[in-house]
Amino acid sequence: MRILATYALLLSLLAGCGAKEASLDKDQEAPTEAAGEAAEKAAPDRVTLTTAEQQVGGVRLGALTQRPMSGGLKVNGVLDVPPENLVSVSAPLGGFVDRTDLLQGSRVRAGQVLAVIRNPDFVQLQQDYLEARSQLKYARAEYERQGELYRQEVAPQKNYQRAQAEYEALQVKTNAQAARLRLAGLPIGGGIVSTATLRAPKGGYVKAVNVSIGQSVTPTDVLFEIVNPEHLHVELTVFEKDIPQVKAQQLVRFSLGNDSVSRERTAHVYLISKTISDERTVRVHAHLDREDEQLLPGTFVRAVIETNRVTVPTLPEKAVVQYGAQAFVFVAAGSAAKAGTAAYRMVPVTRGVSEDGYTEIHLPAAEQGKPLRFVTEGAYALLGKLKNAEEEE
């Protein structure tokens, strides 16, 4: 009996020790797991994905690659037209706007009527012309008669010379009156009218309409502006210190400021201004490689003037995500908190030149030289999960 009691006591002691060890193991595992979750929450630049989430997000890893890229100057500018393609239309003799049906943006052809101008002085102009023309007829007849008398030695030479001078003076006066009528858009000869037509000197699009019916206008007032966008060029603003890098025939890659997809177009430098503005900038003009009727003068552009070609570290464009004003990439972290998951770290970077689907990347000094593996696909899926997690907290 004593032996049985001793065995029972030993078994109870062993069972107690085992329970203590099991509870100790649980207590040790719990803090470790909690610490991992706390560490993940404490790092706002880390995100963890399960294997299923990685497959759904299409996450792929790759390395930073060295590629030859075009180095260049980042500049701003506008689309502009040469002076001969921008026309300001005025009423040469002024008057009142009697009729116009033009709207801004309307297309006009050369010679098309833009407006009808009414002016009482038009009547006097036509009267003066008709009187001068009538006097010219009489002066011509008198000139011919005096010439015949002079040749027959019937009249003195001075009578012939006087008739010739009067005829030539009236001829000049008549021609001048006709030129004034043409300038005002009035008919030469025929019935007298009080209105004149204002016609388009060139074809294009109406950029501005500065009149209304009944408005009084003077010869210095610009009534209409017509622009022909067929030969647009890019006018870029380059800082004085960067001008030595710019040469004729250099490639210019630009995108429109109002283009949501940032479609890239190209041009080539053809003119560099020789003057420096008060802001210490220089104007650089570039011809478009391909004309586009959809482009409008005055549109803001962002451009890169290619000055050289260098080998730089690059990643695919979809590997770089934009959040606010900062660009980021994701790199694989060393270890994950749980088995079956993968951790990634968000790293701020500076963008460089983009070309052929790749973007030049400049890493922070603390990340340079490390054997990093970059997320080349699925970066926006990681960014979405990271920011959603922050909002939930």
Question: CATH number for the domain including 132?
Answer: 1.10.287
Q: Which residue range forms the structural domain that includes residue 305? A: 73-83+228-310
The Cα 251–Cα 264 span in angstroms is 12
Could you tell me which residues come within 8 angstroms of residue 345 by beta carbon, excluding any fewer than 6 positions away? 43, 45, 46, 330, 331, 332, 333
Q: What is the pLDDT along the chain (393 residues), one digit of tens a residue?
A: 444 344 344 444 444 444 444 443 444 444 444 444 444 444 678 888 888 888 888 888 998 888 877 767 889 999 988 888 889 999 988 999 999 988 888 899 999 999 999 998 889 889 999 999 999 999 999 888 888 888 888 888 888 889 899 999 999 999 999 998 888 888 887 788 889 989 998 888 898 899 889 999 999 999 999 988 778 889 999 999 889 889 888 888 888 877 766 678 889 999 999 999 999 999 999 999 888 777 888 889 988 888 877 788 999 988 999 888 889 999 988 765 566 788 898 999 998 877 778 888 889 988 888 888 999 998 888 888 887 766 665
8-state DSSP, 327:
E
For residue 18, being part of any structural domain is answered with no
DSSP of 179-225: HHHHHHT--SSSS--SEEEEE-SS-EEEEEE---TT-EE-TT---EE
pTM for the structure as a whole: 0.53
For 284, the enclosing helix (H) or strand (E) is strand 281-288
Query: Considering only CA atoms, which of 281, 294, 292 is closest in space to residue 236?
Result: 281
Return the closest-CA partner of residue 245 out of 368, 49, 71: 71
Output Rg (C-alpha) for the chain, integer angstroms: 43
- 127 in the same domain as 184: yes
303 and 214 in a common domain: no
User: End of a domain among 227, 250, 278?
Assistant: 227
Would 354 be classed as within a structural domain?
yes
Q: Has residue 33 been placed in a domain?
A: no
Q: Same structural domain for residues 348 and 384?
A: yes
Place of tokens 């990340």: 367
Q: Are residues 251 and 127 in the same domain?
A: no
Pairing of strands 300-316, 65-80: antiparallel
Contacts of 68 (CB under 8 A, 6+ apart): 309, 310, 311
In which residue are the tokens 């300038």 written? Answer: 183
Q: Which residues contact 295 (CB under 8 A, 6 or more apart)?
A: 79, 229, 232, 256
Same domain flag for 243 and 110: no
Element (H, E) at 114: strand 113-118
Same domain, 134 and 161: yes
Beta-carbon contacts of residue 325 (< 8 Å; ≥ 6 apart): none
The pLDDT score that the predictor gives to residue 338 is 65
Cβ neighbors of 50 (< 8 A, separation 6 or more) are 340, 341
Burial of 171 (0-12, 13-18, 19+ CB in 10 A): middle
Residue 8 inside a domain? The answer is no
Q: How far apart are CA 215 and CA 213, in angstroms?
A: 6
Q: Please, are residues 318 and 377 in contact by the beta-carbon 8 Å criterion?
A: yes
- Phi and psi, residue 286, nearest 5°: -135, 135
State the distance between the two ends of the chain, measured CA to CA, in whole angstroms. 65
Is 265 within the bounds of a domain? yes
Predicted pLDDT at 8:
43
Residues 222, 334, single domain; the answer is no
State whether 292 and 319 are in the same domain: no
CATH number of the domain residue 201 falls in: 2.40.50.100
Structural domain total, the chain: 4
Length of the chain counted residue by residue: 393
Q: Which residues pair with 265 in a beta bridge?
A: 254
pLDDT value for 24? 38
Residues 294, 171: Cα–Cα separation, whole Å: 51
DSSP-based three-state secondary structure for 137: helix
- Give yes or no for a contact between 379 and 327, defined as CB atoms under 8 angstroms apart: no
Domain boundary among 310, 331, 354: 310
